[in-house]
Structure 1
């Protein structure tokens, strides 16, 4: 039985990390094998706080070794990594990807390089950003950074579309085969913008902003999952990029319609597979 190994955070209530990524992938027809880097009661942007803890890096090693012992790493189609609770966990991700690729060289590594956004209440432990920039992002097949994370990896400031294109080219030269920029806030104030970059070129996806009292959390985790699933299903990066933009918008639209800020992935599950609205990509 083939599946996707998803190593991310987990919240008991709401949708972030694996709680945002697992169900959409399952709804798209994939077996998903989640390993949680942290388990929190809720995501960290609640003003009331949260409870829970980060797991030890050895827990990741132990679980992956258990999967190896039953011969299932050879059936792993992709490894997705997201929020890490410690620099040691990043090292465990590196080890995991190497083990999976040794068993299945065709397996993809998709790295969502969460480096923290203090303005949003998302903080990562010391050493994580360095591990992501120096080790995990260069070894990834696909990286899914936001504008800040891309700028850190490329070592340049991004203030325009041309800057973003150049930063993606720098990133591709460092190892990844694809860059999916999950949010480019400098490109447009009127539209939410994302970018895909491969050796074949760059594409811009845009969709309308939606009104929220508080911005939803876990959108980047959803984007990583949607792109990974559609790319595995079809093998076409541009089509997968268009799908993840359309399906993500559908989830956000349902969330806004219900007056929520926790992603309504269950309510919007049919549109995860077949989005009702489609947005045209712009080749750059």
Structure 2
């Protein structure tokens, strides 16, 4: 049985990490094998706090070995990595990617390099950002950073669209074949801006920035999950980029309409497969 391995956080309530990515991938008709790096009661932005724990890196290694024992690593079509709870977990992810590529050289590695954002700063444990920058992002086929994470990877500050294009091209030189910048906050205050960069060029999609009293969490995980599913299903990077933006906006619109903070992924599931909106894709370089 072919499937996508997703190694990231999990929350019992709500949608973040695997809780945000797994169901959308399944809704698109693909199998998902989730490995949780942490398990929390809820995402970390609740003022009441959260409970739970981070798992040991050996837990990842052991589960990968179990999949290997039953011959499933060769059936892995893609690996997604998201939030990592420790530097050691990053090393375990790198080893998992290596093992899978040895058995299936066509398997994609999609790295969502969760580090933080301008408002929150770096939100990961000591050593994680360094491991992402030095060991995981360079070996990925696809990276899905926000602007903060793209700057951390390339060392390039971004204040304009031209800066973003230059940083994307720099990122392509560092190893990845596809760069999907899931949010460029410096480009516009009114529009949600996202860039796709490949060797063929750079493309921009802008969609309305829906106003929320508190910003929903797990949107980036939703983006990386849907984008990966599109690629695995054989869509071109440009097709996957357009579908992902349209689908995520649809889920966000449903969430906004119900006055919720947590993503209404289940209620908005039809948007994942057949989005109601179609935003323009512009080639910018």
- TM-score, structure 2 normalization: 0.98
Task: Give the unaligned 5+ runs of structure 2.
Answer: none
1: CA distance between counterparts of 2:95 and 2:123? 24
**For residues 118 and 61 of structure 1, do their structure 2 counterparts lie closer, same or farther at Cα, with a shift above 3 Å needed?**
farther
Could you list the structure 1 runs, at least 4 aligned residues long, displaced by more than 4 angstroms after superposition: none
Matching of residue 255 in structure 1 with residue 255 in structure 2: yes
2: CA distance between counterparts of 1:121 and 1:37? 21
2:203 is aligned to 203
2:36 is aligned to 36
2:21 is aligned to 21
1: CA distance between counterparts of 2:120 and 2:42? 15
Equivalence map 1:23-172=2 (5 Å): 23-117=23-117, 119-120=119-120, 123-172=123-172
Shift of 1:118: 7.7
Q: Aligned residue pairs: how many?
A: 284
1:181 is aligned to 181
RMSD: 1.0
Shift of 1:120: 3.8
Q: Deviations over 1:109-161 (max 9, x none)?
A: 00000113483487210000000000100000000000010011111100000
Shift of 1:169: 0.4
2:267 is aligned to 267
2:194 is aligned to 194
Q: Deviations over 1:191-245 (max 9, x none)?
A: 0000000000000011101121100000000000111111111330000000000
- TM-score, structure 1 normalization: 0.98
